[in-house]
Amino acid sequence: MFDFSKFSDVGDYLSLKNCEENNRSAISRYYYSVFGSVRMYLVLFLNEFEFIDNFKVHSRICDRMSNSDDNTESEIGEILDDLREIRNYADYEWDKFDEDYFKKNLVKVRNNSKLVLDEVESLKKSPPFKF
């Protein structure tokens, strides 16, 4: 089974060359490392099979995590939503943001994605109880 966290390694590699196209692509890889890992956590560890369906899955996962009663899940949801917004800018906006915006946000995206990947691994070992 594919390990989405490996996309983070691709982001690290891309960010070694400081240019706009690499920074934008690295941001996208960092986001997808987190998104895929969170999605697999929900489906494989919590049996929340509704997240297999691709329909609006990005927003549904952000909402599910952000609205969790578990503080760690809620924090992950907030960070994931922020990463998603920056990733959308990196992938789709060519005139609203300049190279400096992506250079500045790359560090934030990298750090937050690695934080979330660590938190997801902790949750896998000790998932929150649901009543």
Within 13 A of 29's CA, how many CA atoms are on the CB side? 20
Residue 129 is given by DSSP the state P
Q: 77 in a domain, yes or no? A: yes
Query: Does the pLDDT at position 129 exceed 80?
Result: no
Residue/partner pairs of 49-55 with CB below 8 Å, 24 or more apart: none
Phi, psi of 95 (to 5 degrees): -125, -10
Beta strands in the chain (DSSP E): none
For the chain, the domain total comes to 1
Q: 26 in a domain, yes or no? A: yes
Query: Does the pLDDT at position 28 exceed 90?
Result: yes
Q: Which residue has the higher pLDDT, 127 or 8?
A: 8
pLDDT digit string (tens) for 41-100? Answer: 999 999 999 999 999 999 999 999 999 999 999 999 999 999 999 999 999 998 999 999
Q: Provide Rg for the chain, Cα atoms.
A: 15
Structure tokens that stand for 78 in this block:
């907030």
Q: 131 in a domain, yes or no? A: no
Kindly state the average pLDDT of the residues 100-109: 96
Name the pTM for this structure: 0.94
Which domain range does residue 19 map to?
A: 4-125
